[in-house]
C-alpha cells in the first residue's frame, strides 16, 4: 500500500489511519525528511510539496510522485491530501492501483477542490462529515462511481 | 505554560500579536510562540518561526493551554492530550489563507469538549483571562473511528 499526504493536518490524519493498514505492506510518502523516523520500520518516500500557486513546483511534485508510483508499484493508494496525494490518486491508475481519497476533516462544509476532482478519479472517495456524503454501502458492488461516501472520521 | 502556534505554512500575526499584547498587559512570560515568518517583535517571549515534529510534541506536552489557528493537526494533538485549546479562524479576506474553511472547521469543532473559539482576535483577551476555567475534554483515542478503519481494511482486501 502507498499512503500519501502533505504535512501538517493532512499527515496527522493519515497517521491516524495506521491501524487499518497493519496487515499489509506499507510505504508512506510525504514531504518532510523527519517523517522517515516516525514511520520506522515502514518504508518512507520523500516527495516535494507544492501549492496551487506555484506551477513549476507542482509539476516537479507530480513527477516525483509518479516516480514513487513506478518504484513502489502499489496495489492500493490512500491519501488524505493535499497536492502530492492528489497526484498519487490521479496517476495511480497507470500502475493499476486502486485508490481511496479521504477528504480532510478540515473540509467541514464542502469537499476540498482536490477532493472534488479526486472523486472523479478515485476508486473510493470518503468525506469525514455525514452531511457531505452518502452512507458507505456494505458491499463494493453497491458503490456508484464518482459518489462521495461517509463512514466515520479520523477524530 | 501557554503554547501559541500558527502551523507550518503561513504566519498569523493578527492572532500572535493579540496574544503577545495580552501577555504584556498581564505581565505573563510563561508562553512559547511558534510564529511562522512573522514581522512582529516578540522580544521577552520564547519564540521560533518553525519547530520540528519532536519539538512541537514537546510543546503540546508542556502546555496547559494552546492558542492556535484552526488547524486540524493542532486540534487533534490537543484532543489526544485532553488539553484545552483556543482556536482563531484565519480569514481569506485578510489574506491569511486562500478560503474560509477554518471558519467552517471552527463551527464544527466548537461543540467538542476542550475546544474554544475566538471568532476574531478581539475575543482573545476575555478568553485568555478566563484560561484557568477552560478545561480540556477526555483524551481521545490514538487512531481514527473504528468504522473508518474497518472500511479501509475492507477496501484493501476487495478484489479489483
CB–CB of B72 and A21 under 8 A?
Answer: no
A19 belongs to a structural domain: yes
CATH of the domain at A76: 3.40.50.2000
Please tell me the total count of domains within chain A: 1
Closest Cα in chain A to B102: A106
A132 belongs to a structural domain: yes
| pLDDT tens readout for residues A133-146 | 999 999 999 999 99
Q: Which residues pair with A149 in a beta bridge?
A: A126, A134
CB–CB of A153 and B142 under 8 A?
Answer: no
- A35 CB within 8 Å of a chain B CB: yes
- Asked if residue B47 has pLDDT above 70, the reply is yes
Q: Which domain holds residue A44?
A: 2-150
Give the pLDDT confidence score for residue A51 in this predicted structure.
82
Cis, peptide link before residue A24, omega less than 30° from 0: no
Contact in structure between A91 and A124 (CB atoms under 8 Å): no
- Asked if residue B55 has pLDDT above 70, the reply is yes
Question: How many residues does the structure list for chain A?
Answer: 155
- Asked if residue A82 has pLDDT above 90, the reply is yes
A155 belongs to a structural domain: no
Give the pLDDT confidence score for residue B98 in this predicted structure.
86
- Asked if residue A54 has pLDDT above 90, the reply is no
3-state secondary structure of A125: strand
Average pLDDT of the residues in B68-82: 97
User: Which residue in the block uniquely carries the three cell numbers 474497518?
Assistant: B150
CB–CB of A24 and B98 under 8 A?
Answer: no
Strands B31-34 and B2-5: parallel
- Asked if residue A80 has pLDDT above 80, the reply is yes
A105 belongs to a structural domain: yes
| Residues B21, B22, B23: CA angle, nearest 5 degrees | 90
A32 belongs to a structural domain: yes
| pLDDT tens readout for residues B1-38 | 999 999 988 999 999 999 999 999 999 999 999 999 99
Q: Which of A1, A5, A10, A12 to mutate to test the interface with B (most CBs of B within 10 A)?
A: A12
ipTM, two decimals: 0.97
What mean pLDDT value characterizes chain B? 96
pTM of the model: 0.95
- Those residues with Cβ within 8 angstroms of residue B49's Cβ, 6 or more apart along the chain or in another chain: B34, B35, B36, B37, B38
Q: Which helix (DSSP H) or strand (DSSP E) does residue B65 occupy?
A: strand B65-69
Average pLDDT of the residues in A106-124: 96
Give the pLDDT confidence score for residue A96 in this predicted structure.
97
A127 belongs to a structural domain: yes
The size of the A-B interface in CB pairs under 8 A is 118
Q: Which domains does chain B have, with CATH numbers?
A: 2-157 (3.40.50.2000)
- Asked if residue B160 has pLDDT above 70, the reply is no
A7 belongs to a structural domain: yes
Evaluate the CA torsion angle B129, B134, B140, B144 in order and state its sign.
negative
Average pLDDT of the residues in B73-95: 97
Average pLDDT of the residues in B79-93: 97
Residues of A whose CB is below 8 A from B75: 155
- Asked if residue B159 has pLDDT above 90, the reply is no
Closest Cα in chain B to A21: B153
The grid coordinates listed for A101 are 481519497
Amino acid at each position: 500500500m502507498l499512503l500519501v499526504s502533505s504535512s501538517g493536518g493532512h499527515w496527522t490524519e493519515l497517521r491516524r489511519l495506521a491501524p487499518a493498514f497493519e496487515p499489509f505492506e506499507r510505504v508512506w510518502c510525504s514531504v518532510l525528511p523527519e517523517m522517515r523516523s516516525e514511520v520506522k520500520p515502514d518504508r518512507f518516500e520523500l516527495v516535494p510539496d507544492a501549492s496551487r500557486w506555484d506551477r513549476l513546483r507542482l509539476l516537479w511534485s507530480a513527477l516525483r510522485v509518479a516516480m514513487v508510483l513506478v518504484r513502489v508499484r502499489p496495489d492500493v493508494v490512500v491519501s488524505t491530501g493535499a497536492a502530492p496525494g492528489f497526484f498519487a490518486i490521479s496517476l495511480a491508475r497507470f500502475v493499476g492501483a486502486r485508490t481511496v481519497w479521504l477528504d480532510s476533516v478540515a473540509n467541514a462544509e464542502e469537499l476540498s477542490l482536490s477532493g472534488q476532482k479526486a472523486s472523479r478519479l478515485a476508486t473510493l472517495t470518503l468525506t469525514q462529515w455525514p452531511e457531505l456524503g452518502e452512507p458507505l454501502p456494505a458491499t463494493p458492488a453497491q458503490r456508484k462511481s464518482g459518489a462521495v461516501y461517509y463512514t466515520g472520521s479520523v477524530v | 505554560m501557554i503554547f501559541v502556534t500558527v502551523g507550518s505554512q503561513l504566519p498569523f500575526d493578527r492572532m500572535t500579536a493579540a496574544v503577545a499584547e495580552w501577555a504584556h498587559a498581564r505581565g505573563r512570560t510563561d508562553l512559547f510562540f511558534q510564529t511562522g515568518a512573522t514581522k512582529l517583535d516578540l522580544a521577552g517571549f520564547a519564540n521560533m518561526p518553525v519547530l520540528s515534529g519532536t519539538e512541537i510534541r514537546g510543546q503540546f506536552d508542556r502546555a496547559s493551554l494552546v492558542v492556535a489557528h484552526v488547524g486540524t493537526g493542532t486540534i487533534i494533538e490537543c484532543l489526544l492530550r485532553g488539553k484545552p485549546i483556543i482556536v482563531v479562524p484565519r480569514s481569506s479576506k485578510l489574506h491569511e489563507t486562500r478560503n474560509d474553511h477554518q471558519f467552517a472547521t471552527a463551527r464544527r469543532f466548537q461543540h467538542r469538549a476542550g475546544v474554544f473559539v475566538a471568532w476574531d482576535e478581539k475575543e482573545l483577551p476575555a478568553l485568555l483571562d478566563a484560561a484557568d476555567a477552560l478545561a480540556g475534554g477526555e483524551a481521545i483515542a490514538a487512531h481514527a473511528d473504528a468504522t473508518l478503519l474497518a472500511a479501509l481494511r475492507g477496501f484493501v482486501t476487495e478484489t479489483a
